[in-house]
Structure 1
Amino acid sequence: MTTMNTRRATRPVGEVLAWSKSLAEPALRDAAERLPEAMRRIAGYHFGWSDARGEPAHADGGKALRPALVLLCAEAVGGDPADAVPAAVAVELVHHFSLLHDDVMDGDTTRRHRPTAWTVFGTGPAVLAGDALLSLAFEELTPEGAKLLSQGVLELLEGQAADLDFEQRDDVTPPECVRMAGGKTAALIGAACELGALHGGRPGAVPRFGEFGRSVGLAFQHVDDLLGIWGDPAETGKPVYSDLQNRKKSLPVVTALSSGTPAGAKLASLYAGTDPLDETELALAASLVDEAGGRQWSQAQAAALVAKGLRELAVVNPVPRPAAELAALARLITTRTH
């Protein structure tokens, strides 16, 4: 295929995500039907398929980025994306397990412009629903696929544990924060890409696709942390300065705190308090993160990580059209607004 033909054949990112949803969502709904009734109701609400009473709804269920990565990676090694649909479903189930638990642990009351599941159904039921999604995920996979995903989940849990530990510490370093994000976010995205290559029938390419996914996943977390401070609530579905309100030790914040600058010292003083930060203090904290270099550092890191991921992808000589779409998805990560 010529370069010109490859460009013509490459679908826009929105079309790719819609295609991914059209393949994965019916299978995801079928999987959710196997949940016990009480947990099925919570999952349906969390996915945006129903309201709190269980009546059909069409709320925002997210971009479904991870299923798209699974399916495109399967295509990129020459496989049929339909063969990778169970893996895409498994990854999405794990992702939503983590979101249900994250909302409880972080005390977040809003997700995608709706009350979080735990605020509607209670903490215990939301946690159990998340556990059920995790269990369901492994029913979708072969033993080899389950082993890959299990490793990703263990790294995710280790990253989440580190994130919680950071809340009690005032000496978190940037390398520690990067390792935490590598587990909490990048591990599952890496596993998604590995599963795609595996189900596409090219197990020898799995490590490179994993490296691609982990690089893109870490870039994703950098941008997520930037949006947690400067994101538009109308787009993110979360309150303005939400991460600062929670005094979260995110990547740009930890970089600012460790900068050795006057702005970093002022930010540390704000973070050392226990009273809720008012609007003026939140705006000041955001400006201090920026002044101390945290914002610029995360932006630069995100761009560099995407470039690294694309170099890893190129090594395996992927099929041109899905490779171009994977590159477009990777670049979307650094420019997204929600």
Structure 2
Amino acid sequence: MTGMMSEALQAGDRSEVIRGALVRRRSPSEDRFGELTHYAMAMPGKLLRPLMLVTSAEAVGGVAETALPAAVAVEHLHVASLVHDDIIDGDELRRGRPSVQARYGVADAIVTGDALLFDLFAAVAECPAPAEVVVAVVDEFARAGGDLCRGQVLESLMTPPSAAGPGSRLEDYLDVAALKTAALFRAACRAGALLGGGSAEQADLLGDYGHHIGVAFQMYDDLLPYLDSGESGKPDVSDAANLRPTWPVLIAHRDGRREHREAVEIALSGTLDPAETLESLRHAVVGSGALSTARSLARERSRIAVARLPELPGTVAAERLSRIAEIAVDRDH
């Protein structure tokens, strides 16, 4: 099996190798516990975080195979956070199908997320790397998990908006994006650099890349309910129903005319039903030109992310990281 993985990785089929490793780790089981964890992991998305991890390892001169168990681990951490997010937000859809909590109930969903979190450490322990490197990777993931939790708490303080108005929350939004989303991208890239034998400076460079891509990813993710290009795989009204001031909404309140600011304030006041809230926000976001501005700012953040990639020794891998940056801000889900 190891030889087959090496051949596939050399052939460039990293997504399929990662998917295969995820399937093997969460193969169907006859007991309820196995069913729960398999269901949660059965439909991985674009696998950006694990792809960034193995590609970061290659970008510093290492091999993807050494980083593969950690790539599996980072996807477990990501999916666990989604399972818990769906509980917090009350979302019943995830990636186009019932969320874990919608299908199995809140109690089992909590257990599922916890189980995936614990198993990620077991996966990291399987990395064929020196013990001190494995410990450093565990530290990266643990720090990212703590940041994610801090980001969740900060996000809850933004909802509903304060009396100062949504426009005052742009800095808070960026802090939430850095903690709740970008921290895991950062950890994936730093872990890959460590497992690839990179220097401290290279780990910092890739960590900065991951941070900026993560923020850009979240900025663009918040545009999806207002774009016509596809489905996000979760209810479009989720953020609206939770009165969450997202990136384009905040831009609309900052840059729009009075009618757009008022539309945002009324929408986030909690006096409308979720569908009406989303429609009011869409009026503000589209009518104010915030959609274009928000998209441009996300792409600018992506350009910042890739600026220093040519400094890395693995030029082919660095080019792949640049392409991943493009995907992060040009997708339909």
1:159-213 Cα shifts (integer Å, max 9, x gaps): 1111222223334510110010111111101111111111111132111100001
User: How has the CA–CA distance of structure 1 residues 112 and 34 changed in structure 2, closer, same or farther, with 3 Å as cutoff?
Assistant: closer
For the 8 Å contact 2:89–2:238, the answer to whether it is kept is no
Distance in 1 of aligned mates of 2:241 and 2:26 = 34
Where in structure 1 are there 5+ consecutive unaligned residues? 1-14, 49-59
Residue type of the partner of 1:301?
A: L
Aligned to 2:269: 272
Instruction: Decide which of 98, 101, 106 is 2:81's aligned counterpart.
Output: 98
Q: Which segment is superposed worse, 146-155 or 136-145?
A: 136-145
Residue type of the partner of 2:160?
A: Q
- Kindly indicate whether residue 263 of structure 2 is the aligned counterpart of residue 252 of structure 1: no
For the 8 Å contact 1:258–1:264, the answer to whether it is kept is yes
Distance in 1 of aligned mates of 2:179 and 2:44 = 23
Distance in 2 of aligned mates of 1:277 and 1:34 = 37
- Report percent identity of matched pairs: 31
Residue type of the partner of 2:268?
A: Y
Counterpart of 1:216 in 2: which secondary structure? helix
Counterpart of 1:236 in 2: which secondary structure? coil
Aligned to 1:146: 138
Aligned to 1:71: 54
Where in structure 2 are there 5+ consecutive unaligned residues? 1-10, 125-133
Q: Which segment is superposed worse, 86-95 or 221-230?
A: 221-230
Instruction: Decide which of 43, 46, 53 is 2:40's aligned counterpart.
Output: 46
For the 8 Å contact 2:161–2:268, the answer to whether it is kept is no
How many residues are aligned here?
308
Residue type of the partner of 1:228?
A: P
Q: What does residue range 1-338 of structure 1 map to in structure 2 within 5 Å?
A: 19-32=13-26, 37-48=31-42, 60-141=43-124, 142-170=134-162, 171-172=165-166, 173-204=169-200, 205-230=202-227, 235-259=231-255, 261-262=257-258, 263-278=260-275, 282-314=278-310, 316-338=311-333
Residue type of the partner of 2:156?
A: L
For the 8 Å contact 1:229–1:243, the answer to whether it is kept is no
Q: Displacement of 1:61 after TM fit?
A: 2.4
Q: What is the root-mean-square deviation of aligned Cα atoms in Å?
A: 2.3
For the 8 Å contact 1:197–1:206, the answer to whether it is kept is yes
For the 8 Å contact 1:306–1:331, the answer to whether it is kept is yes
TM-score, normalised relative to structure 2: 0.85
For the 8 Å contact 1:156–1:185, the answer to whether it is kept is yes
User: How has the CA–CA distance of structure 1 residues 295 and 318 changed in structure 2, closer, same or farther, with 3 Å as cutoff?
Assistant: farther
User: How has the CA–CA distance of structure 1 residues 124 and 221 changed in structure 2, closer, same or farther, with 3 Å as cutoff?
Assistant: same
Distance in 2 of aligned mates of 1:65 and 1:225 = 17
Distance in 2 of aligned mates of 1:160 and 1:34 = 31
Q: Which segment is superposed worse, 185-194 or 222-231?
A: 222-231
User: How has the CA–CA distance of structure 1 residues 41 and 203 changed in structure 2, closer, same or farther, with 3 Å as cutoff?
Assistant: farther
For the 8 Å contact 2:160–2:244, the answer to whether it is kept is no
Distance in 2 of aligned mates of 1:189 and 1:35 = 31
For the 8 Å contact 1:241–1:286, the answer to whether it is kept is no
Q: Which segment is superposed worse, 146-155 or 281-290?
A: 281-290
Q: Displacement of 1:257 after TM fit?
A: 2.9
Residue type of the partner of 2:293?
A: W
Q: Displacement of 1:135 after TM fit?
A: 1.1
TM-score, normalised relative to structure 1: 0.84
Distance in 1 of aligned mates of 2:30 and 2:107 = 15
Distance in 2 of aligned mates of 1:175 and 1:334 = 20
